Structure 1
Amino acid sequence: MEAILYVSHGSRVPAARREAARFVEQCKAAIDIPIQELCFVELAEPDIATGVDRCAAQGATRVIVIPLLLLSAGHAKQDIPAALKAAKQRHPSLEIVCGAPFGVHDAMIDIIIDRIGEQPAPLDHESMVLLIGRGSSDPDTKRDIAAIARRLQEKTSVPHVDVCFLAAIRPTLDEGFKRAQASIYRRVFIVPYLLFTGVLMKTVERKLQAMPVSDQQWHLCSYLGYHPRLVTLIQQQVQALSAAKKGA
């Protein structure tokens, strides 16, 4: 019997955990697999080990692990595989297969465009976008955010998309804001490339509130959130991993 184990990043902020739980309920309704559980990499319970245990206790013989992560960095490359390896030692007869983070995908660009479209101002030739990533010491993070920025610019024809990061790598959030302030663009659309609310989103909000008054218009878009487009990506990933088993 197959099971799905959704692995969210985790947060100390209760609202973030509730957002993940609500999203998993949407996935459960869209995917016809009897066992579906949610767990977290860190900062919340249940952890990955407990998530696997819960799947096994319900009779799962094969667990499809779906990382609810935006990009492939330390959690996807190290933490999740290590936790799954330990779980496999406790459940040697259980088959565990792991999917990939959402990554650089056209659906992610469409979500950004949706969030920008929620703002009252137009994204036009007088506009720029400041794309804010979480940040990681993994070099793939900077590469992937740069690729997303290029695709966003191509898809919207906005004159300029700049990037900055909240941690670990440059340009920093302060540097990103300073470059936007010094730019020629009348409107700056700030897009936090984050999956859920929490401390990092509050950091962006505080930074914007501290900005000096100027003729520039600054528009803070919502973080990406557990957008309905992500359900489709997960459906496709589950179908591919299930088909791989059937074709083996």
Structure 2
Amino acid sequence: MKAVLYVAHGTRSKKGELEARSFLQKIMMKAPLPIQEISFLELSEPSMDEGFARCIQQGATDITVIPIFLLAAGHMKRDIPDNVKRWKQKYPQIRIELLNALGVQEEIVDGIVELIHESIIDLKRNDSILIVGRGSSDPDIYQAFAQIENMLRKRIKIESISTCYLAAAEPSFTCGLNRQLTNTTGRVIVVPYLLFSGLLLSEVSRTCRKFGSKVIQMGPLSHYPAIESLLVRKVSIPNICSLR
């Protein structure tokens, strides 16, 4: 019997955890599979191991692991694959497949642009966009965000678009925001490239509020219909949904 195990990052923020669960439950309602379980990599429960065990207890013989991660950085290259490798060694009779992170997607960038235009009716060329990534020690994130910046430039007539990070990469959010505020005559539109609310997004919000109307903050990406559509398609691909 086929199953899907969703793996979200996890957070110490109760609001962020509830937001992740609610979002994933909407995905599960649209997916025609009898066994679907939610799990978290860290900081929230159930753990990946607990979610996997629940799939087994319900009779799963074919489990697809779907990471709810935007980019393929450290967690996607090491932590999650290590867990999957361990499961495969312990349960050789069970087919286990790990799907990729969402990655850099035209559809996500289209959703960001659509939300900016809906939220800011009087968007001006001298406004700027500051993308805020979670950050990682993995150097590939710089290339990913460079792609995202270029995709935004092709879609939106704004002079300045740049990226900053909340941890483990430079420039920091504080430096990135101060640079945009110094160099921009218009407003700074802050786009958190984060899926859910949490402590990191709360930090962003507190800082943005200090600048009043000079800084406009967008919501997390899980609020964008494009993200939901992408995940529903991942779950609905034929090799997952063809039940035995």
In structure 2, what is the Cα distance between the partners aligned to 1:106 and 1:17?
A: 27
Residues 219, 226 of structure 1: CA spacing in aligned structure 2 closer, same or farther, 3 A cutoff?
closer
* 1:233 pairs with 2:230: yes
In structure 2, what is the Cα distance between the partners aligned to 1:185 and 1:146?
A: 23
Q: Secondary structure at the match of 1:182?
A: helix
CA contact (8 A) 1:132 1:166 kept: yes
* 1:109 pairs with 2:109: yes
Q: Deviations over 1:25-80 (max 9, x none)?
A: 21112111111110000001111111111111111111111110111111111110
CA-atom RMSD, angstroms?
A: 2.1
Aligned-pair CA distance for 1:155: 1.2
Q: Deviations over 1:155-181 (max 9, x none)?
A: 123222111111111111121112111
CA contact (8 A) 2:3 2:55 kept: yes
The TM-score, its normalising length taken from structure 1, stands at 0.90
Residues 105, 27 of structure 1: CA spacing in aligned structure 2 closer, same or farther, 3 A cutoff?
same
Partner of 1:173: 173
Q: Deviations over 1:130-150 (max 9, x none)?
A: 111111000111111111111
* 1:219 pairs with 2:216: yes
1:204 is aligned with what amino acid?
V
CA contact (8 A) 1:41 1:48 kept: yes
In structure 2, what is the Cα distance between the partners aligned to 1:218 and 1:11?
A: 26
CA contact (8 A) 1:129 1:160 kept: yes
In structure 1, what is the Cα distance between the partners aligned to 2:241 and 2:221?
A: 30
Where do 1:148-163 residues align within 5 Å? 148-163=148-163
The TM-score, its normalising length taken from structure 2, stands at 0.92
1:228 is aligned with what amino acid?
P
In structure 2, what is the Cα distance between the partners aligned to 1:210 and 1:24?
A: 33
Partner of 2:29: 29
Partner of 1:132: 132
Partner of 2:92: 92
CA contact (8 A) 1:115 1:222 kept: no
Unaligned runs of 5+ in 2: none
% same residue: 35
In structure 2, what is the Cα distance between the partners aligned to 1:100 and 1:141?
A: 15
